[in-house]
Amino acid sequence: MSADKTKGLNTAFDFKTLVENRHEYARAWKARTGGKVLGYFETYFPEEIAYAAGMLPVRILARHEVDDISDKWIYSSCYPVRDMVNQLLKGRYDYVDGLVNVEGCQWMYNAFEVMMNNREGLFYHYLFLPDYTDAATSKDVTKNEFGVLIDRFKRWTGKTVADADLDEAIEVYNRNRLLLRRINELRRADRPVITGSEMMNLVLADQVMDKAEMNVVLEAFIKELAGRKPGPDKIRLMIVGSETWDARLEELAEAQGANVVVDELDNGTSYYWNNVLPQEDRLMALALRYLGRPHSALKDNNYRRRPQHIFELAEDFNVDGVLLEKQIYCHTHGSDMYAVWKILRERYIPYHYFERGSLLPEDETTARLEAFLSMLKPGLNHLAGWHKKFGEEAANK
């Protein structure tokens, strides 16, 4: 992508508005550049490849509106996916030239199939990324799948993706992840200068914007954060569970005197956790990055590494409690939660579990948050010595 694509960009830091206006942004990008817009469902999609082919990859986000369509096509799926189908069939994403689904959530695959059956003329591709991410053949399989994707892009657009194109895309995306991690690190502070809702809206905006343009915004935002005064002392929370589509939970927590200082979500910290390590074989470098990221409940099912990663995040960001949120009908997180509960109990970390749909039941959620937060005080759990107690137990084993 050429540097002139960043000219004239409004770098206002209202990320929530950027997310709400994502359709207008994509249409404007398409009119300005003449490029294709490619929608994707899973955060395992290798955006670098689409970017190298001159496209704008945008994540399909769930937004609830009156739904009189999805029951006909996707009965008994989770509510966010039903909302995606509703939006797609109603033309909210009419600017999208193609859709890609990566092996993962089966409900999202159902939405992908509904679109294939209802919208002719779009580019469609199913990309397999092994659920056994550490299997002996996983790296080669993933690399080959990425090569097939490049070939299909070439047949679709007529553009050959050269090594130089991939190198530029990898550099832009690595820079983007680095900037997001720099901002996320500020949340470790006792009194962070950024709120949880602000961070979540920022990451969601990042998933629907041109990364070169977003890097300009992030660099300016980091300078703005440097001039902020520390925020108030609040109860420190962590969110774990199913993917989220807005920052409403963070906003409700903030209204109750808490702040979400870290998350373990597929479209949160896991999205920007690790970079591509450049090597001569670009596709293998990309394969290793996506196979090596913190994994979803589905792709961690055979390994159960998520619980330890969740504990380490909770410890590193000094959290007082954890909110475990699971989308209704999300079977993978439903089958994974027992392992998360187990490690949180063993480490004496308070948590609250609840299920949700695309929309939060706000009165109920507020009441449950109020009850949970009433058991917590900033730093109280750490003063009680659960870190020390865990260390003693580990030493005695």
Q: What region does 385 belong to: left with phi over 0, alpha with psi -120 to 50, or beta? A: left
Total domains, the chain: 2
- Give 47: exposed, middle or buried? Use CB within 10 Å, 0-12, 13-18, 19+: buried
Handedness of CA 11, 15, 19, 20 (dihedral sign): negative
Residue 125 dihedral angles phi and psi, to the nearest 5°: -150, 135
Q: Pairing state of beta strands 37-40 and 98-102?
A: parallel
Q: Which helix (H) or strand (E) holds 34?
A: none
Contact 99, 124 (CB under 8 A): yes
Which of 123, 143, 168 corresponds to the end of one domain? 168
Query: What CATH number corresponds to the domain at position 376?
Result: 3.40.50.11900
Decide if 180 is inside a domain: no
Decide if 223 is inside a domain: no
Instruction: Quote the domain boundaries for residue 386.
Output: 232-396
Assess whether 155 and 236 both reside in one domain. Answer: no
Per DSSP, 293 falls in state: S
Strand order of the β-sheet with 258-264 is: 258-264, 235-241, 321-327, 351-356
Cα–Cα distance, 36 to 314 (Å, whole number)? 40
Decide if 340 is inside a domain: yes
Q: How does 173-205 read in b/e, with b if 16+ C-beta sit within 10 Å?
A: bbbbbebbeebbebbeeeebbbbbbbbbbbbbb
Identity at 331, one-letter amino acid code:
H
Assess whether 130 and 258 both reside in one domain. Answer: no
Identity at 210, one-letter amino acid code:
D
Which of 142, 168, 194 corresponds to the end of one domain? 168
Assess whether 382 and 292 both reside in one domain. Answer: yes
Assess whether 111 and 244 both reside in one domain. Answer: no
Assess whether 159 and 263 both reside in one domain. Answer: no
pLDDT in tens, the chain (397 residues): 344 444 444 445 899 999 999 999 999 999 999 999 999 999 999 999 999 999 999 999 998 888 888 888 887 788 888 899 999 999 999 999 999 999 998 889 989 999 999 999 999 999 999 999 999 999 999 999 999 999 999 999 999 999 999 999 999 999 999 999 999 999 999 999 999 999 999 999 999 999 999 999 999 999 999 999 999 989 999 999 998 889 999 999 999 999 999 999 999 999 999 999 999 999 999 999 999 999 998 899 888 899 999 999 999 999 999 999 998 888 888 888 999 999 999 999 999 998 888 788 889 999 999 999 998 865 555 555 444 444 455 445 5
Assess whether 240 and 153 both reside in one domain. Answer: no
- Angle at the Cα of 94 from the Cα atoms of 89 and 97, rounded to 5 degrees: 110
Length of the chain: 397
Assess whether 237 and 382 both reside in one domain. Answer: yes
Assess whether 380 and 248 both reside in one domain. Answer: yes
Contact 188, 318 (CB under 8 A): yes
Q: pTM for the whole thing?
A: 0.91
Decide if 212 is inside a domain: no
Q: Pairing state of beta strands 258-264 and 235-241?
A: parallel
Cα–Cα distance, 130 to 11 (Å, whole number)? 38
Place of tokens 């300016």: 220
Cα–Cα distance, 84 to 267 (Å, whole number)? 16
Long-range contacts of 218-224 (CB under 8 A, 24+ apart): 218/176, 218/179, 218/180, 218/183, 219/179, 220/11, 220/13, 221/11, 221/13, 221/183, 222/179, 222/182, 222/183, 224/13
Decide if 69 is inside a domain: yes
Which of 151, 168, 185 corresponds to the end of one domain? 168
Query: What CATH number corresponds to the domain at position 99?
Result: 3.40.50.11890
Q: Which helix (H) or strand (E) holds 108?
A: helix 106-118
CA distances to 40, 89, 201, 208, 215 from 22, rounded to whole Å, are 14, 17, 12, 6, 17
Assess whether 139 and 248 both reside in one domain. Answer: no
Cα–Cα distance, 323 to 251 (Å, whole number)? 13
Decide if 192 is inside a domain: no
Decide if 210 is inside a domain: no
Place of tokens 């919208």: 119
- Cβ of 395: how many Cβ atoms within 10 Å? 7
Decide if 188 is inside a domain: no
Assess whether 121 and 43 both reside in one domain. Answer: yes
